[in-house]
A and B are shown apart, each in its own frame.
Chain A
Amino acid sequence: MNKTFNQKAWYFVIPVFVLVAFNAAVPLMTVVNYSFQETFGSNVFAWEGTRWFKEILHSERFHASLGRQAIFTFIILLIQLPLGIFIALTMPKKGWGVPVCLILMSMPLLIPWNVVGAMWNIFALPDIGFLGNSLNSIGFDYNFTQQSGDAWFTTILMDVWHWTSLVVLLSYAGLNSIQPAYYQAAEIDGASRWDIFRYIELPKMKKVLTLAILLRFMDSFMIYTEPFVLTGGGPGNATNFLSLDLVKMALGQFDLGPAAAMSLIYFLIVLLICWIFYSLMMKNEART
């Protein structure tokens, strides 16, 4: 669409600008403020310069939780994207199956996050949970509260349960926007099922899939509530992801300076990766 140049459009943006700035700028400045200072309680502050940033960047604790976070997000994307696309491809296109699938599949998305954690906790408990009890009765030695491997398995399974539907919904919407003429043409050309997927469906889904990657990256990288309720970061530090570690430092130990420095580094990492995605997305859009 060719847009007209009009500075008065700013008036329309003012309410949004004020509301978001009110919420973003003031707290962000507070964090920046803390990150350069040492606090002794009762509002006494001393200037520390970049000491906290240096400390965090060299701290093994930060490297460990960042590493865990990166592995977690990577596994999540690797499982949820192909699985979501696959399920969307097999979903019915019309009839009574469509609303049934959409309603049932959206259910996990609308459950409060700590309920998701609590639900999976009682579902996976080795003695009274369905998952834990079943796994143990067929011979696995499963206990997610004591073995870190099991804790990882449960956390990933929970996230797959929780968020794969978002990828399904997005892919399904992308698939629905493909005109039947494309499929007819493919049939005439004698294209195989794989060809149809590779050369028609995948390119048509590019836009929604970029969004799916972006949303899943952001949310899995910021995951807090579900693992907090499910494992509390344990056993030991096995599932202590970035957000969990941050809250432990800020509210648990009240190390405001280092916690603030860590917040900023954390935010910058998310921002940088999202900016790269966003630029790529906009570039694609400009070309098409």
Chain B
Amino acid sequence: MKKIKWLVPTIYIIFLMLPIYWLLNMSFKTTTEIINVYSLWPKDFTLENYVTIFTDSTWYMGYVNSITYTVFNTIISVSAALPAAYAFSRYKFLGDKHLFFWLLTNRMAPPAVFALPFFQFYSSVNLFDTHIAIALSHCLFNIPLAVWILEGFMSAVPKELDETAYVDGYSFGRFFFKIFIPTIAAGIGITMFFCFMFSWVELLLAKTLTATIAKPIAAIMTRTSSTSGYELGLLAAAGSLTIIPGAVVIYFVRNYIAKGFAMGRV
């Protein structure tokens, strides 16, 4: 039993890697090779697809746009959620439980429900096709999540920490920034990871709220199927590149992922 235990995760990881490998495999082929020859590795190895993406500004600006609004959203969500999570973890106030559930309900709203009204709403306040519009709209599901995770981390910190600091003559602001935030640094890291993740992978709202200037890479990719046939090689290369930012972020937070879930309210 002990000896074959590693087999299960190994098989699972192979299953996870197969479609990713297939995407990479295709990205190094020419479109004609993809369509005409079935092979497990590129026979006619080419970097042409990647060159196209990095030299055409409509392509690479897509990555810049996606990263821009994702970072905006992460900053807005976490900085707004910090004081709120503190309030929920330390105080009772009128309507606190209802407010908490109301926040969570927004994580439950199907984005498809909001797509059209968001389009009209952001157009009417002249924010259509801007990075900030996508960053704000993603707050709809990221802020509730951020409050939820941070509240869990903050509740794990004993209240005596606050009281000792006040006895020592700290003002609230100094306590919050100098003592409290460093104490829950790991929790903030995890929260940023989740905000980044959900903002990076969402497409429906990001696509609805943009036309040309702030268009995310994922939406630009749909272009390959509409013009000039189906450029599979290019599509595969663009897809492969969208995996990189996520992989980089995972590498940095790898030690916190499991711990973060365990410590939070979750």
Interface residues of A in 30-81 (CB under 8 A from B): 30-31
Q: Are A170 and B22 in contact (CB under 8 A)?
A: no
Q: Please name 14 pairs of A and B residues whose Cβ atoms are closer than 8 Å in the assembled complex, sorted by A.
A: A9-B93, A16-B143, A20-B103, A23-B106, A102-B250, A103-B247, A110-B245, A161-B19, A169-B258, A176-B262, A208-B266, A225-B204, A270-B109, A274-B105
Can you list, as one digit per residue, whether each of A1-37 has a CB less than 8 Å from chain B (1) or not (0)? 1111111111011011101101110111011000000
Q: Report B's interface with A, CB cutoff 8 A.
A: 5-9, 12-13, 15-20, 22-23, 26, 34-35, 38, 40, 76, 79-81, 83-84, 86-94, 96, 99, 101, 103-118, 120-121, 136-137, 139-140, 143-144, 147, 155, 159, 197, 200-204, 217-219, 221-222, 232, 235-236, 239, 242-243, 245-247, 249-251, 254-255, 257-262, 266
Closest to B39 in A: A128
Other A-B pairs beyond A107-B250, A129-B22, 9, CB < 8 Å: A12-B86, A16-B84, A16-B147, A17-B99, A20-B140, A112-B242, A113-B218, A114-B219, A123-B22
Given contacts A128-B38, A278-B101, contact A243 B110 (CB under 8 A): yes
A199 within 8 A of B: no
Q: Are A19 and B261 in contact (CB under 8 A)?
A: no
Given contacts A5-B93, A13-B99, contact A113 B16 (CB under 8 A): no
Contacts of B200 in A (CB 8 A): 110, 112
A187 within 8 A of B: no
Q: Which of A4, A105, A119, A271 contacts B13 (CB 8 A)?
A: A105
Given contacts A24-B140, A118-B239, contact A113 B201 (CB under 8 A): yes
Interface residues of A in 229-287 (CB under 8 A from B): 242-243, 246-247, 250-251, 256, 259, 263-264, 266-267, 270-271, 274-275, 278
A179 within 8 A of B: no
Q: Are B221 and A120 in contact (CB under 8 A)?
A: no
Given contacts A26-B117, A111-B246, contact A133 B262 (CB under 8 A): no
Given contacts A165-B16, A266-B110, A267-B109, contact A107 B136 (CB under 8 A): no
Closest to B239 in A: A115
CA distance A256 to B94 in the complex (A): 37
Contacts of A221 in B (CB 8 A): 110
Q: Are B239 and A119 in contact (CB under 8 A)?
A: yes
Q: Are A225 and B99 in contact (CB under 8 A)?
A: no
CB of A259, distance to nearest CB on chain B (Å): 8
Contacts of A118 in B (CB 8 A): 221, 235, 239
Q: Are A122 and B249 in contact (CB under 8 A)?
A: no
Q: Are A110 and B250 in contact (CB under 8 A)?
A: yes
CB of A209, distance to nearest CB on chain B (Å): 10
Closest to B241 in A: A115
Q: Are B18 and A111 in contact (CB under 8 A)?
A: no
A130 within 8 A of B: yes
Q: Are B110 and A16 in contact (CB under 8 A)?
A: no
CA distance A235 to B108 in the complex (A): 28
Can you list, as one digit per residue, whether each of A77-110 has a CB less than 8 Å from chain B (1) or not (0)? 0000000001100111000010101111111111
Given contacts A7-B93, A27-B121, A250-B115, contact A106 B242 (CB under 8 A): no
Q: Are A224 and B93 in contact (CB under 8 A)?
A: no
CA distance A246 to B115 in the complex (A): 10
Contacts of A278 in B (CB 8 A): 101, 104
Contacts of B147 in A (CB 8 A): 16
Contacts of A3 in B (CB 8 A): 90-92
CA distance A164 to B9 in the complex (A): 12
Q: Are A122 and B232 in contact (CB under 8 A)?
A: yes
CA distance A92 to B65 in the complex (A): 39
Q: Are B143 and A20 in contact (CB under 8 A)?
A: yes
A211 within 8 A of B: yes
Closest 7 CB pairs of A and B: A110-B246, A27-B117, A173-B261, A9-B91, A12-B87, A12-B83, A9-B87
CA distance A27 to B133 in the complex (A): 14
Contacts of A22 in B (CB 8 A): 136
A288 within 8 A of B: no
Closest to A275 in B: B101
Given contacts A19-B143, A20-B144, A133-B38, contact A27 B118 (CB under 8 A): yes
CA distance A27 to B249 in the complex (A): 32
Interface residues of A in 160-191 (CB under 8 A from B): 161, 164-165, 169-170, 172-174, 176-177
Q: Are B242 and A111 in contact (CB under 8 A)?
A: yes
Q: Are B6 and A112 in contact (CB under 8 A)?
A: no
Given contacts A1-B155, A1-B159, A105-B12, contact A114 B111 (CB under 8 A): no
Contacts of A30 in B (CB 8 A): 117, 120-121
CB of B98, distance to nearest CB on chain A (Å): 12
Closest to B232 in A: A122
